[in-house]
Structure 1
Amino acid sequence: MKIKCLLVDDEPIALNVLSAYIQQVDSLELMGQCRSGVEAFTLLQHKPVDLLFLDIQMPQLSGLALLRSLTNPPKTIITSAYREFALEGYELDVLDYLIKPIAFDRFMKAVGKAFAHKHTALPSLPVGADEPFLFVKEDRQLIRLVLSDICWLESKRDYVKIMTTGREVITRQTLGYYDELLPTEQFLRIHRSFMVAKAKIDSLTETQLRVSGHSLPIGRNYKSAVWEQLQIRNLIRSTGQGS
């Protein structure tokens, strides 16, 4: 299930960069490029898209003015050389705000939010459809990981180790990034260094979880939230394990 994208920017170089980035991600599909807000407004009336990459400073109609003019705007990632419009952009419920020049890893982080939103919005996929997934950068390639295959994530200073049912992936990223990206319905932060997939939890005590046969610690500051999200606080208390 590809995410259909539209680029809106009056700078040809910016359009070329984003177009090249989109072509590197199989699950993104470029539906068009517009050089002005007016052109984008016209196109969106008859050609709906899932994700808008939108510059702010454009002639005739600015990017923010375009968003306000749309009754049902697509999910939007702002691409701008100016930081001062960030607050106004987020007030319009944009997914992310990218400052030019845009690095590929920063582009991928923003796209990851679009994937996460789309999958959260569509929790029940028809038979035969692609399962929700994300792309993870390992070395010089992007690895496609299906969310249901992920068992847990472990912070390793400047890296995150992602354990799946079939492999281990190590990516240069922070655990906080994945804490924001991954849907809370499926994943749970249990420690400053660990996140787990709820569906992969085998058992737990006050201090540990068993996930796919491995013991992982529950951080003292996370214990109450873990019990609450797993809806087991009363059960643990009744067995005398809680305090």
Structure 2
Amino acid sequence: MLKSFILDDEAHAIELLTDYIERTSGIELAGSETNPLEALRKITELTPDVLFLDIDMPEISGLEFMKLLGQKIHIVFTTGHAEYAVEGYNRDIADYLLKPISYSRFVTCCDRVAQKVADAAGKKKDASKNFFYIQGDNKKMIKINMEELFYVQSLNNYVIIYHQSDKLVTYLTMKEVEQFLPADKFSRIHKSYLVNDAKIKTIESGHVILHSQPVTALPIGLKYRDQFFSKIRKVTLKRGDWEK
């Protein structure tokens, strides 16, 4: 859920964006302000993900306000002047909404910001985790490099981690493993299987074939099929892509 804040010197502009936020899933309003200094205090306290920032304000411009922000926040400019777009993108803003703002354009903006937030979180997560430990026999802690992990199989309240030519059994649930591993590198393909995307060799006949010896074929469950293939389509090169 995106947490948002609105700073605009015009009350009707805040009312419009508030209405749009209430109508849109995946985003909530943490607060709003017409006074830039009050907004700065509230933003520091509330730590929103995205700030809808009016550029044309009498006391301080949106561009000047950006300089006061000491925290990382995704900014969306809102203004009636299209010429500010170039300035905004030079400052690496998340998006730009030209007044009067249509609801359809607002929804597109929210999708774009949500993706940026997810990408930033994924990069942070990936950078901090390229290995993990599991508890083996006799409470021994075993280190596993993620790039060497082939797949995970659930077994009631245990999971089997297939790691290079070895396999390790540990007391974990599949849900715990799935939540821990980065979603951009690992895919749940079945109620009993979670696979390392980098180890996939082919996808055929409802199965994922891995780069392993002996060859391993894991079934793709009906419940997970749509989500898995939606992810695969994003990295599939088609003939039409060459024509764009």
So what's the TM-score if we normalise by structure 2? Answer: 0.53
- The residue aligned with 1:218 is 239
Report the Cα distance in structure 1 between the residues aligned to 2:2 and 2:179, rounded to whole angstroms.
17
What amino acid is aligned across from residue 43 of structure 1 in structure 2?
K
Answer whether contact 1:52 1:77 (CA < 8 A) is retained: yes
1:103-141 Cα offsets, whole Å, 9 max, x none, are 011011111111111111223598569x99xxxxxxxxx
Report the Cα distance in structure 2 between the residues aligned to 1:220 and 1:105, rounded to whole angstroms.
27
Report the Cα distance in structure 1 between the residues aligned to 2:99 and 2:11, rounded to whole angstroms.
13
Q: 2:226 aligns with which of 165, 173, 182?
A: 165
Q: Give, in angstroms, the shift of residue 36 of structure 1.
A: 2.4
Q: Give, in angstroms, the shift of residue 59 of structure 1.
A: 2.1
Q: Give, in angstroms, the shift of residue 100 of structure 1.
A: 0.6
> Partner of 2:43: helix, strand, or coil?
helix
Equivalent residues in 2 for 1:70-85 (5 A)? 70-85=69-84
**Stretches of 4+ moved more than 6 A in 1?**
none
Larger Rg belongs to: 2
So what's the TM-score if we normalise by structure 1? Answer: 0.54
- The residue aligned with 1:119 is 118
Report the Cα distance in structure 2 between the residues aligned to 1:68 and 1:109, rounded to whole angstroms.
26
What amino acid is aligned across from residue 221 of structure 1 in structure 2?
W
Equivalent residues in 2 for 1:54-203 (5 A)? 54-123=53-122, 165=226, 196-198=233-235
Which moved further from structure 2: 119-128 or 10-19? 119-128
Report the Cα distance in structure 2 between the residues aligned to 1:98 and 1:106, rounded to whole angstroms.
8
Answer whether contact 2:7 2:52 (CA < 8 A) is retained: yes
Report the Cα distance in structure 2 between the residues aligned to 1:99 and 1:86, rounded to whole angstroms.
9
Q: Give, in angstroms, the shift of residue 84 of structure 1.
A: 1.9
Report the Cα distance in structure 2 between the residues aligned to 1:34 and 1:11, rounded to whole angstroms.
9
Q: Give, in angstroms, the shift of residue 26 of structure 1.
A: 2.5
What amino acid is aligned across from residue 120 of structure 1 in structure 2?
D
**Does the C-alpha gap of structure 1 residues 218 and 28 become closer, same or farther in structure 2, counting only changes over 3 Å?**
same
- Corresponding position: 1:6 with 2:67: no
Aligned sequence identity (%): 30
What amino acid is aligned across from residue 95 of structure 1 in structure 2?
A
1:125-181 Cα offsets, whole Å, 9 max, x none, are 98569x99xxxxxxxxxxxxxxxxxxxxxxxxxxxxxxx828xxxxxxxxxxxxxxx
**Does the C-alpha gap of structure 1 residues 25 and 79 become closer, same or farther in structure 2, counting only changes over 3 Å?**
same
Q: Give, in angstroms, the shift of residue 220 of structure 1.
A: 7.3
Structure 1, unaligned runs of 5 or more = 133-163, 167-181, 188-195, 202-208, 210-216, 224-243
Report the Cα distance in structure 2 between the residues aligned to 1:220 and 1:42, rounded to whole angstroms.
47
- Cα root mean square deviation, aligned: 3.0
Which one has the bigger helix percentage?
2
> Partner of 1:29: helix, strand, or coil?
strand
Answer whether contact 2:95 2:113 (CA < 8 A) is retained: no
Q: Give, in angstroms, the shift of residue 46 of structure 1.
A: 2.2
Work out the number of aligned pairs and report it: 148
Structure 2, unaligned runs of 5 or more = 127-175, 184-224
What amino acid is aligned across from residue 115 of structure 1 in structure 2?
A
Report the Cα distance in structure 1 between the residues aligned to 2:40 and 2:179, rounded to whole angstroms.
34
